[in-house]
Amino acid sequence: MTILISAGHSTRPVRPLHRAERELLTCFASAVDLDRVRIITRYSWLGRLVTRISGGSAVALGYRIFLPGDNSLPTLAHELTHVSQYQRWGWWRYYLSGTWNQVVLRLLLRRDVYHWREETGKPFDQFGMEQQGQIVEDCFNAASPRRIAAATISPFRPI
């Protein structure tokens, strides 16, 4: 079962998280300043460029989350993981890591930066930037075959 989190709530191109979204994602409250998060559904030239580079997928840039169409709870949880990275790491490390993962590894070297596997004793912080997002997404996705493994690693879990 996939929970849609923003359909029908707002037609504004930029909006804060809705109350229902905040309630479903309370596990992020200690790691992310949810008041600063903005969901962007219609884009400027920058948003179009970023989502094009990402292959049409959702993207987080700092506190801004670009949702090109997939408005599921697992997708939003993935992107909030990146917002938490931005808060913890600072802008320099966050944007450098994001550029390395998306441009160098994924686009140029054709690596699957989202693939992860459970390794005994390996903590969440030792996974790559996108692997962390995917672990959290898998944890929130009831249909994911890796949901149970993800829940043992992820610091963010559904309520």
Residues 56, 99, 62, CA angle at the centre, nearest 5°? 75
Q: What is the pLDDT of residues 21-71, one digit of tens each?
A: 999 999 999 999 999 999 988 777 777 787 777 778 899 999 999 988 767
Which pairs from 126-129 meet CB under 8 Å and 24+ separation?
A: 127/153, 128/101, 129/82, 129/85, 129/97, 129/98, 129/101
pTM of the model: 0.88
